[in-house]
Structure 1
Amino acid sequence: MSTDFAAARLNMVESQIRTADVTDLPLQDALRVVARETVVPPSKAYLAYADADIEYAPGRWLLRPREVGKLLQALKPREGEKALAIAAPYAAAVLEKMGLAVTRLEGDDLKTAPAGTFDVIICEGAVAAAPKSWRDALAVGGRLGVVERTGPVGRAVIYLRAEDGVGRRLDFDASPPILAGFEVEPSFSF
């Protein structure tokens, strides 16, 4: 039995993306054509469009379709911008389809952003707190989207660089798995 991935993509946009108030039409168009099944192991391709956390590499997870759609919309990506995708192969492909120049950061050292500045930075795994190096890599007007999670429920957070520093706003609840290497540091108290 083969999976009709094109139909699954359309169904994902109609039932998980649009119903989550993701109204950005260029984003919806990109989500309709980017093959999510190509960024997961072949043995998990059947899960690509499900409302599920999918481990695509050890300790690396794709955001659920609703969550990645909402996070991308909050970042307001625009054609021609420079983007950094941290452990975010699906978001990277969507941003490329939308006309952004994307640098992909995978590998062992995800806490250090590459040299240069970016208009959009996205991470698909949850972290306890966005590393300073990620915030420092934002160009003026740049936006960083990440889920910060220290307990059972996390929050999507958008960081915005202005001339005088970086602001932070909470967006929506999300509970993706913690990205390997970004676990909450245990604390000791009396």
Structure 2
Amino acid sequence: MLDFAEARRNMVENQLRPSRIDDPRLLAAMGEVPRELFLPKPLRGVAYSDDDIELDHGHFLLEPLALAKMLQVAQLRSDEVALVIGCSTGYAAAVMARLAATVFLLVEPDEDVTALDRLLNELGCANVLIQRGPLREGLPSQAPFDAILLPGTVREVPAALREQLGDGGRLVTVVSDRHAGRVTLFSKVGGAIGRRTPFDAGTPELVALRPEPRFVF
């Protein structure tokens, strides 16, 4: 029988640390959260592989290193409020729950989150608050946010999400031009938003955040 606790330790020591993930709070969080519980039982044996895990309906569980890179760039603090969009499994939110004060997890309006809500409570993630709504619109009723995470690839970040950052806020995702993807950090200072791209990354696309079609007459 697979020892999941040992698999978590191996993930931290063999996947994360050698790839310059060195934030001790982040390493501890990813070493504590039982990643396998966020997957259907038939897939739990591959929970700690260094690959993205495809699920039904275009959903996926992001590979550990890609998520760790994004969270390390986000630099979440224990007194901050964060929003995560596009994480249908809830795993990223559970990790973030150990790094921030409050984490809002935005899911599609018709998504059944009964089991996920129960799991998060069992894991002591009472500071994760699940909300429903169109992903592209974010969660303006709870804005501004100190950090927003889009754990996957987008072609562009919807303007509505950038506008929901507070001063000093950060939005992290992978932005792709269809040829290469890069972990991209958007930072808001004094009303202006800057960006930098500290890492290359290839992750599945967040289909719900695709740009709306533009009509040319």
**1:95 partnered with 2:96:** yes
Aligned Cα root-mean-square deviation (Å): 1.8
Task: Give the Cα separation in 1 of the matches to 2:171 and 2:108.
Answer: 20
**1:64 partnered with 2:91:** no
Aligned ranges 1:90-169 → 2 under 5 Å: 90-107=91-108, 109-115=134-140, 116-169=143-196
Task: Give secondary structure in 1 for the equivalent of 2:207.
Answer: coil
Aligned amino acid, residue 118 of structure 1:
F
**Cα deviation digits, residues 25-55 of structure 1 (max 9, x gap):** 0111111101111222222111211011112
Aligned amino acid, residue 35 of structure 1:
P
Aligned amino acid, residue 94 of structure 1:
V
- Confirm or deny: 8 A CA contact 1:125 1:147 kept in the other structure: yes
- Confirm or deny: 8 A CA contact 2:135 2:209 kept in the other structure: no
**1:174 partnered with 2:201:** yes
Which segment drifts farther, 172-181 or 65-74? Answer: 172-181
**Cα deviation digits, residues 31-88 of structure 1 (max 9, x gap):** 1101111222222111211011112442222221111111101110000200001122
- Confirm or deny: 8 A CA contact 1:85 1:121 kept in the other structure: yes
Task: Give the Cα separation in 2 of the matches to 1:152 and 1:159.
Answer: 21
Task: Give the Cα separation in 2 of the matches to 1:17 and 1:158.
Answer: 20
Aligned amino acid, residue 8 of structure 1:
A
Task: Give the Cα separation in 1 of the matches to 2:99 and 2:55.
Answer: 23
**1:55 partnered with 2:82:** no
- Tell me: CA distance 1:184–1:150, structure 2 relative to 1, closer, same or farther (3 Å): farther
1:100 shift after superposition: 2.7
- Confirm or deny: 8 A CA contact 1:61 1:179 kept in the other structure: no
Task: Give the Cα separation in 1 of the matches to 2:100 and 2:172.
Answer: 18
Gaps of 5+ in 1: none
State the percentage of identical aligned residues: 37
Task: Give the Cα separation in 2 of the matches to 1:175 and 1:53.
Answer: 10
**Cα deviation digits, residues 93-148 of structure 1 (max 9, x gap):** 11102243000011152111112111111111211111111111111111110001
Q: List 4+ stretches of structure 1 deviating above 6 A.
A: 184-187
**Which TM-score applies when normalising by structure 1?**
0.91
- Confirm or deny: 8 A CA contact 1:127 1:178 kept in the other structure: yes
Task: Give the Cα separation in 2 of the matches to 1:33 and 1:69.
Answer: 14
Aligned amino acid, residue 3 of structure 2:
D
Task: Give the Cα separation in 2 of the matches to 1:30 and 1:161.
Answer: 26
Aligned amino acid, residue 21 of structure 2:
V
Task: Give the Cα separation in 2 of the matches to 1:124 and 1:96.
Answer: 15
1:90 shift after superposition: 1.8
1:9 shift after superposition: 0.6
**Which TM-score applies when normalising by structure 2?**
0.80
